[in-house]
Structure 1
Amino acid sequence: MVQMKPIVVVTRKLPDAIETRMMELFDARLNLDDAPMSKADLIEAVRVADVLTPTITDRIDAAVLAEAGPGLKLIANFGTGVDHIDVAAAEARGIVVTNTPDVLTDDTADMTMAMILAVSRRLGEGERTLRAGGWNGWSPTWMLGRRIHGKRLGILGMGRIGAALAARAKGFGLSIHYHNRRRVHPEVEDELEATYWESLDQMLARMDIISVNCPHTPATYHLLSARRLKLLQPHAFIVNTSRGEVIDENALTRMLIAGELGGAALDVFEHAPSVNPKLTALDNVVLVPHMGSATLEGRIDMGEKVVINIKTFVDGNPPPDRVLGELP
């Protein structure tokens, strides 16, 4: 008797090599035009799927999961963060959730370092000026940025990406500081020459640059609130390649407009894909459309992890990247 392949519904277009592999192994239902799925589309998907492979653009909440058919046993997320999935509701229905950790660390840390350089040295502003025909020649005082060597970098969230950023920033001569739920191992601190701050408020008040590298959870929603943003020094830069919801974006925008911060570099936004038009009008803000992990190699690595998680699970074994409740 021929065994039926599991139905795997993939919500967005993935790299060709990954889609080809999925079609070989599974009854893969692909999203060839890459249009984001509506809630109705997602409900239809969970009704027919044995496995759902969503991305960050898909909100898999309790209402969607309540419509799941009896066959849905695995949500193999394409991405590390799972704040768009109600993991508890999935677990309550006996649905396993997996993600794709570790493969995006270097790409995201590289992008974060690039954004630190871009905002401090006014790269975006300079390029826009040149393209608009506004450059009339070199001048000693024109388009002056800020040197990063010797400055204090405060990393909010010293996980894999935070530590990888610290290693890069150390090479640029930045002084490394961090706040985390748990202090990292002393050997890691020594290697990175990193200083731990138990008080986030105290760290914010002393830094020249803040990098947000913590996940979005109920505990980190608006962790950088209006009150905490006011603690930053007026020359400070804030960089976010994590999740937009960690920062009170309206409060940040007001401070930038008022000249109360040196600038910001944002790869993520609180209401993405919508971006506050007041932010787009500011020259001292670098805006990037969620490209932190956007490399071909990274996307293929993510897809390979998804395939491994699905294949392992349907073969009757525990998937290697199972998510249990809140991510560490």
Structure 2
Amino acid sequence: MSRVLLTRPLPDCVTAAAAAAFDVEQRDSTQPMKPAEMRAALALYDGVLATLGDRFDADILGGGTHRCKILANFGVGYDHIDTAAAAACGITVTNTPGAVTDATADIALTLILMSARRAGAGERLVRSGQWQGWHPTQMLGLHLGGRTVGIVGMGRIGQAIARRCLHGLGMKVIYHSRTPKDLDFAATRTGTLAALAARADVIVAAVPGGAETRHLICADVLAAMQPHAHFINISRGDVVDETALIAALQSGQIAGAGLDVYEHEPQVPAALMALENAVLLPHLGTAAQDVREAMGMLAVDNLRAFFAGDVPPNVVG
């Protein structure tokens, strides 16, 4: 029976499914694996069900041969795994797309509404005991109906966000992507990211993480945005130049931001936490019981297929 390591506590049904198929060991810690743990895992297990923060980079993988032959990632994003280095070691990498799409899009919509309608600041006002009652000019935000949302990255998640904005909020959709998309809803592709920034009332980053997208949202993009506009990030923290974003929020260059991810997660800059025009969530994108269970089952399915000698359904890299 193949020996498999689960690098985090997982939903009970996922752990049970893995234990029924493999000789399973599960770490009790909720923290990412340390380098020594990752190297040991590669030597001691036939497969590793890893997740965000377990940085299997080229240094860890080392270019040699390992007992481990599959890294089954729990999550759609796999920028923490060097797929080229894994391939050079004969290690297959898989992920869990599909299960995360709607849940992540829902969090994007949550952040859009919270930022535009100042919900975070409003809740803090009520909890502080300083709210003195309704009046006509209190905490005026941005009504989203008829406004334009700009989606940066029109993959599965980007399209799910666009549909929610179009059909749910009555927004117009523009997008920026490397190639045109064949979409089943009305959306206009912009030629450049700066052009999207200049036209959008809300910008949502929905691109994969990695070297190609690091600091894609930079000072120049933020400067091109309209002063009433809001920026939302549900992709990866380092897609955004966090220092530039903080400066844009502090100066009023943009009206607000809603973030579910951070450049040096879980560290969040004190300057960002101090801003009333920033909505900050603790990486809740897929944090729903049934979604996390579905993600885990996909990861187990990938492992089952691999050890049965089949091509896993969700190979990446």
Q: Secondary structure of the residue that 1:177 maps to in structure 2? A: strand
Measure, in 2, the Cα distance between the counterparts of 1:54 and 1:70.
16
Measure, in 2, the Cα distance between the counterparts of 1:244 and 1:32.
26
Q: Aligned-pair RMSD on alpha carbons?
A: 1.2
The amino acid of 1:148's aligned partner reads L
1:174 to partner: Cα distance: 0.5
Measure, in 2, the Cα distance between the counterparts of 1:44 and 1:71.
10
Q: For the Cα contact (< 8 Å) 2:258–2:279, is it kept in 1?
A: yes
1:58 to partner: Cα distance: 0.8
Alignment match, 2:110: 114
Paired residue for 2:170, among 167, 173, 192? Answer: 173
Show the 5 A alignment for 1:184-263.
184-185=181-182, 188=183, 191-263=184-256
Q: For the Cα contact (< 8 Å) 2:63–2:88, is it kept in 1?
A: no
Alignment match, 1:294: 287
Q: Alpha-carbon deviations, 1:36-57, whole Å to 9, x = none?
A: 3211111211110100111111
Q: For the Cα contact (< 8 Å) 2:150–2:197, is it kept in 1?
A: yes
Q: Secondary structure of the residue that 1:192 maps to in structure 2? A: coil
1:198 to partner: Cα distance: 1.8
1:70 to partner: Cα distance: 3.3
Measure, in 1, the Cα distance between the counterparts of 2:71 and 2:124.
42
Runs of 5+ in structure 2 lacking a partner? none
1:199 to partner: Cα distance: 1.5
The amino acid of 1:151's aligned partner reads R
Measure, in 2, the Cα distance between the counterparts of 1:192 and 1:121.
26
Measure, in 2, the Cα distance between the counterparts of 1:122 and 1:262.
10
Greater shift in the superposed pair: 191-200 or 75-84: 191-200
Measure, in 1, the Cα distance between the counterparts of 2:315 and 2:260.
27
Q: Which runs of 4+ in 1 moved over 3 A?
A: 67-70
Measure, in 2, the Cα distance between the counterparts of 1:62 and 1:42.
12
The amino acid of 2:231's aligned partner reads I
**Given the alignment of the two structures, is residue 133 of structure 1 paired with residue 129 of structure 2, yes or no?**
yes
Alignment match, 2:120: 124
The amino acid of 1:175's aligned partner reads K
Aligned residues: percent identity?
43
Q: Alpha-carbon deviations, 1:189-220, whole Å to 9, x = none?
A: xx321111121111111111100001112221
Show the 5 A alignment for 1:31-46.
31-46=27-42
Q: Alpha-carbon deviations, 1:250-307, whole Å to 9, x = none?
A: 0010111111110000000011010011010011100001101111111011111111
Measure, in 2, the Cα distance between the counterparts of 1:129 and 1:227.
33
Alignment match, 1:182: 179
Q: Alpha-carbon deviations, 1:152-209, whole Å to 9, x = none?
A: 1000000001111111101211111101111011xx1xx3211111211111111111
Q: For the Cα contact (< 8 Å) 1:49–1:69, is it kept in 2?
A: no
Q: Alpha-carbon deviations, 1:15-65, whole Å to 9, x = none?
A: 011011111111111013434321111121111010011111111111211
Alignment match, 1:23: 19
Q: For the Cα contact (< 8 Å) 1:115–1:239, is it kept in 2?
A: yes
**Given the alignment of the two structures, is residue 148 of structure 1 paired with residue 132 of structure 2, yes or no?**
no
- Could you state the TM-score of these two structures normalised by the residue count of structure 2? 0.97
Q: For the Cα contact (< 8 Å) 1:239–1:265, is it kept in 2?
A: yes
Alignment match, 2:308: 315
Q: For the Cα contact (< 8 Å) 1:12–1:34, is it kept in 2?
A: yes
- Count of residue pairs brought into register by the alignment: 316
Measure, in 1, the Cα distance between the counterparts of 2:95 and 2:41.
19
The amino acid of 1:169's aligned partner reads C
The amino acid of 1:104's aligned partner reads V
The amino acid of 1:143's aligned partner reads M
Q: For the Cα contact (< 8 Å) 1:46–1:69, is it kept in 2?
A: no
Q: Secondary structure of the residue that 1:76 maps to in structure 2? A: strand
The amino acid of 1:254's aligned partner reads A
1:144 to partner: Cα distance: 1.2
